[in-house]
Structure 1
Amino acid sequence: MGATGTGKSRLSIDLATRFPSEIINSDKIQVYKGLDIVTNKVTEEECRGIPHHLLGVIDPDVDYNAAKFRQDTLLAIESIIEQDKLPIIAGGSNSFIESLVNDDPYFASKYDCCFLWVDVSLPILRHFVSERVDQMVKAGLVDEVRGIFDPKANYTQGIRRAIGVPEMDQFLRAEGNADAETLDTLLQVAIDEVKENTCKLASRQLQKIHRLRDFWGWNLHHIDATEVFRKGGEDARKTWEKLVVGPSAMTVTQFLYRTPTVPSFPKSPGTAVIERTVQPMAAMATATH
């Protein structure tokens, strides 16, 4: 689990290379087909051969909700466990994970969870988010949104809810009618709004995680990745391995083998490892890329 941009997807893949696993996406926007840049989906290269479920598979115009996510996730978990692999649930939509863990009696009766919370100091994360949006624009974000632009579209449904789509509306409406200077201004305003709305999303996600911990009593294993984001290049990679992957892998190992240092997990709500109570197998969820 964690706010957008903290490295949840990266960690889930790193863990899946250490434990025989498959990953279930729990990001409510990344489930949709298309807009791979806008939604910041992991690339095939970044997946490193690890199978991903519920990633880019839903029709863009369908409203995908928590109930449907619970149903699809349970099917994926059973399929993964039948292969003697560990299910890892990873994504930024904490409401989906909360619904799965708190509201599904079948899930609660069959599985235990290990929640990994990847955290980054908000001021540091805001700077990273701003740079990431600039990189997404360079990678083709505007063209991607232009490809699905519809002046009559409803921005409250399907993939058009994604941050990066509604913000481009005024700019795309002005194309063909406004002069170059006006278009440049509108585009910059749109990009700034994408950055601001992404930062607001990160704050909301963090507040929700605190609520899951403080109100619902979820036992979240806090992984502080702030130092990684302060560094660059090889230093950042080494720090990620030392401060994020290493401690996370140790926590998962302790969970799977039930060593005395790991307390029991409540049968309620996070990224989570889920163990089937009838056999020594687990599902792990690392809740936005």
Structure 2
Amino acid sequence: MTISRVMCRPTQPLKNVPSSGQKQNLRQKQKVVLVVGATGTGKSRLSIDLATCFPAEIINSDKMQVYEGLDIVTNKIPKEEQRGVPHHLLGTQNRNSEFTAADFCDKASLAIESITNREKLPIIVGGSNSYIEALVEKFGPRYDWCCLWVDVSMPVLHSYLTRRVDVMRECGMVNELRHFYSPNGDYTRGIRRAIGVPEFDSYFRREAVSDRETRQRLLREAVCEVKRNTCELACKQLGRIHRLRSLKGWNIHRFCATPVFQNHAQDANHAWKNIVAHPSATVVAQFLNNANVASAAGHTLLPSTHTPHVS
């Protein structure tokens, strides 16, 4: 089982979504959909659901997933789960390079232009809100933006994220990290900034010279630190989204996915479709058809009464 399957992504695309006229509107006006949320909330899942409903391509805006390598640690969506949807800026950058917000804006703008020139919809997805914020500030006036937020209550999300780290470990996280370990590694540049790399430094540094009991202790400590830092990251990402709404004045459609994480198997898939996927697709369809739907550039927001609100 891959890491991404922990999200219980449905294997079938959405159906019966109102999307008439979308191609004509894409020709008339350049529009972009943003999908934001804390790590682990289902942003990639939603972006692919949407891209199977509309003529769309996905642009990754996750700071660590832009780099090549560490697919398990950075939780890149596997090729077989992308459902044939083209992905841009996913594992394309040299692992040792420094990919800044300015670099992202340059490459993402080229991808947006390429996608819209082919009469398709760019969907930008990722937890690195600083990248998305920089892009909107730089290119916002040139496009219409519709921003979707997949939210999960923090206690529920933290429980899921700790389990996800355990699944990552079962899928080979430690061996994957071992190949990236360097005694002189710089944890301030490139993919080595990813959660998991610095946390395992002490374990790999002392692994060869420690007894079995010490190695097990160091491993437990490293895994616990990864879990703790991942949960802290989720809190920071949530805070940035609230800042975009309150201080920046972004109009954002919030979809609460908490019930998805509180159910299992088919019940979770059913909840996802009913409270996240289908309502999001309806909002995007209205956005493409020039209905009264909000964008991050400041248009009027339709009330999001179709989703439950969980704090």
TM-score normalised over the length of structure 1:
0.90
Q: Percent of pairs identical after alignment?
A: 56
Match of 1:157 in 2: 189
Match of 1:145 in 2: 177
Q: 2:148 aligns with which of 84, 99, 116?
A: 116
CA deviation after TM superposition for structure 1 residue 176, in Å: 1.2
Cα distance change of structure 1 residues 192 and 25 upon mapping to structure 2, 3 Å threshold: same
CA deviation after TM superposition for structure 1 residue 265, in Å: 4.9
More RCO (CA 8 Å, sep 6+): 1
Asked if the contact 2:146–2:295 (Cα under 8 Å) also holds between the matched residues in 1, the reply is no
CA deviation after TM superposition for structure 1 residue 267, in Å: 5.6
Kindly report which structure 2 residues correspond to 1:221-260, keeping only aligned pairs within 5 A, or say none.
221-260=253-292
Separation in structure 1 between the aligned mates of residue 187 and residue 174 of structure 2, nearest angstrom:
16
Asked if the contact 1:167–1:194 (Cα under 8 Å) also holds between the matched residues in 2, the reply is yes
Q: 2:297 aligns with which of 253, 261, 266?
A: 266
Asked if the contact 1:112–1:267 (Cα under 8 Å) also holds between the matched residues in 2, the reply is no
Kindly indicate whether residue 54 of structure 2 is the aligned counterpart of residue 54 of structure 1. no
Separation in structure 1 between the aligned mates of residue 77 and residue 95 of structure 2, nearest angstrom:
18
Is the partner of 1:223 in helix, strand or coil?
strand
Kindly indicate whether residue 111 of structure 2 is the aligned counterpart of residue 72 of structure 1. no
Is the partner of 1:145 in helix, strand or coil?
helix
CA deviation after TM superposition for structure 1 residue 46, in Å: 1.1
Separation in structure 1 between the aligned mates of residue 142 and residue 131 of structure 2, nearest angstrom:
18
Q: Letter of the aligned partner of 2:122 in structure 1?
A: P
Match of 1:88 in 2: 123
Q: 1:174 aligns with which of 206, 226, 235?
A: 206
Could you list the per-position Cα deviations for residues 39-85 of structure 1 after superposition, in whole angstroms to 9, with x for gaps in the alignment?
00000111010000000000000000000000000100011111111
Asked if the contact 1:61–1:158 (Cα under 8 Å) also holds between the matched residues in 2, the reply is yes
Match of 1:287 in 2: none
Match of 1:280 in 2: none
Kindly indicate whether residue 60 of structure 2 is the aligned counterpart of residue 25 of structure 1. yes
Cα distance change of structure 1 residues 265 and 210 upon mapping to structure 2, 3 Å threshold: closer
Match of 2:304 in 1: none
Q: 2:233 aligns with which of 182, 201, 224?
A: 201
Cα distance change of structure 1 residues 264 and 145 upon mapping to structure 2, 3 Å threshold: closer
**Structure 2: tracts of 5 or more residues without a match:** 1-35, 300-311
CA deviation after TM superposition for structure 1 residue 108, in Å: 2.3
TM-score normalised over the length of structure 2:
0.83
**Structure 1: tracts of 5 or more residues without a match:** 269-289
